Amino acid sequence: MGMVTKRKKMHYGDTHLQRRWRVRNRRRDLDQIDDDLRTRSGELINQNVDLEKPGFAQFYCVHCAKYFIDDTAMQAHFRTKVHKRRLKALEIEPYSIEEAERAAGRGSFVKPKKRAMETQPSKEDVVAGKRIRVEEVPEDTAATESPSTSKTKRKKAEKMET
């Protein structure tokens, strides 16, 4: 009866390489992207030709802060779960210094604002004058939806009782 063999660690001491790989693939944070959306979205969509970047920096997703090789790759990216998840994350106002101060006890709680977020327009639409809009969703629309959902819940409860 032999003992179970222990797995040998082949890559001992490569933590410096792992850190470099981790940092190399880092994307921009949500607050940085939100700042880009508000201030310079048109500038990022219509960038000058840069031979060092993929697609010569002509196909850039502002929401994901990512370059693509051509327009078909970028349009395919707009349909992916990764892009839709990023749009969903950008719907809520990003965490700010003021919110951190309130969490520390220097102020009262303010609920983060919901915003309507949609995929960026194509290059032709931007040339025509269309821009990325960051609009706040009014909370009264959420209030009008809740009574209708409560009615359906009541109907379901009545059906279950009978």
At 75-97, the pLDDT tens digits run 999 999 999 999 999 999 888 88
Closest CA to 81 of 97, 98, 94, 64: 64
Q: Does residue 139 or residue 153 have the better pLDDT?
A: 139
Q: 0.85 exceeded by the pTM?
A: no
Please say whether the beta carbons of 89 and 71 come within 8 A.
no
The distance in angstroms from the start CA to the end CA of the chain is 67
Write the DSSP assignment of 70-131 as a string of letters: SHHHHHHHHTSHHHHHHHHHHTBPPP-HHHHHHHTTSS---PPPBEE--PPPPHHHHHHT--
- The 10s digit of each residue's pLDDT in 101-111 is 988 988 888 88
Which SS3 state, helix, strand or coil, does residue 33 take? helix
DSSP assigned state of 52: T
